[in-house]
Amino acid sequence: MKTSLSLQLEALIGQAYRNAVNTHGDLLLSEARFAERVLRAIDKLQAAGFSESSPADVFKRLHTGDLYLASACAEMRPSAWERFISLFTPVIEAAARYACRSSALAADLAATIPGRLCSLDASERCRIASYDGSQPLEVWLRAVVVHRAIADYRLKNNQTEPLEHAAALADELSVERIEAAIRANRYGPLIRDSFRAAGKTLAESERYILQLRYEHGLNGREIARLLGVHASRVTRKLQAVQCKLRESVHAALVQQGLDAAGIAECMTEIRDNPEYSILACLEGGGGRKR
């Protein structure tokens, strides 16, 4: 007998399938096959850091429309590849230009990507089947293009081609940027929720001193004069509130089911992304919308 959770997940998958068909058209991918891909993606995410979240909660993080399209492409449906090429050729071309210094080589690289994605990998599986829906297909494709550009360059470099004559030079920083984009997309909703929860733990006096410092831009001495206290007291108070917020954010991430590795990635994202700040907690959200 199916549980209420399994029935809920089944209903969510069915609705996602209908929405995807409305968006992309009938790509000859059955609902059963789509459900299989979704369930594999959920299992993968739970194994990667969402083990405490229910399958239905993990499902809500998936980009199911993109997963539907990629799954139909993986089954070599011509209509799916036509849809893919019409939607994502500009994305692939832009990523190639970003990764290569030569416009000619960028064009050559972009032209090879669709064929490479529909070719088989070592496990005899269409390469686009590795897309799991955990980030937008657009972001995933950018990473594929950049990594392919770097692999091509390294291959040429290993063949002793002089650096000054290497046809394409993929910037390693490009990969870092793409990986940062993937991380932001994967963990952004969780971080925003944790910032919202952390903001709710603040007392009015704590919120007020943070607003003076970070919203109004007053320094410690100016805040001290305004409050009629010594500057050292303001410094200690700010440090204590900042520590409280860090602990609250960490606790909120734990409550959302992340394991240690997932939390570490979230903390890296918070540290490296200027969109997450003390002000985000005061505003009750986690950074500006992208």
For 72-82, write each residue's pLDDT tens digit.
999 999 999 99
Q: Average pLDDT, stretch 253-277? A: 82
Task: Please give the share of the chain, as a percent, with pLDDT higher than 70.
Answer: 83
Q: What is the pLDDT of residue 44?
A: 84
- Give the Cβ contact number of residue 168 at 10 Å: 19
Q: Which class for 120: exposed (0-12), middle (13-18), buried (19 or more C-beta within 10 A)?
A: exposed
d(CA 53, CA 66): 22
Domains in the chain, CATH or no CATH each: 4-170 (no CATH), 186-283 (1.10.10)
d(CA 110, CA 96): 6
For 124-149, write each residue's pLDDT tens digit.
888 999 999 988 898 889 888 888 88
Average pLDDT along the chain: 82
Tokens of 114: 């669709």
Its pTM stands at 0.58
User: Is residue 54 helix, strand or coil?
Assistant: coil
For 181-235, write each residue's pLDDT tens digit.
667 777 888 888 888 888 888 888 888 888 888 877 888 888 888 888 898 999 9
d(CA 205, CA 235): 14
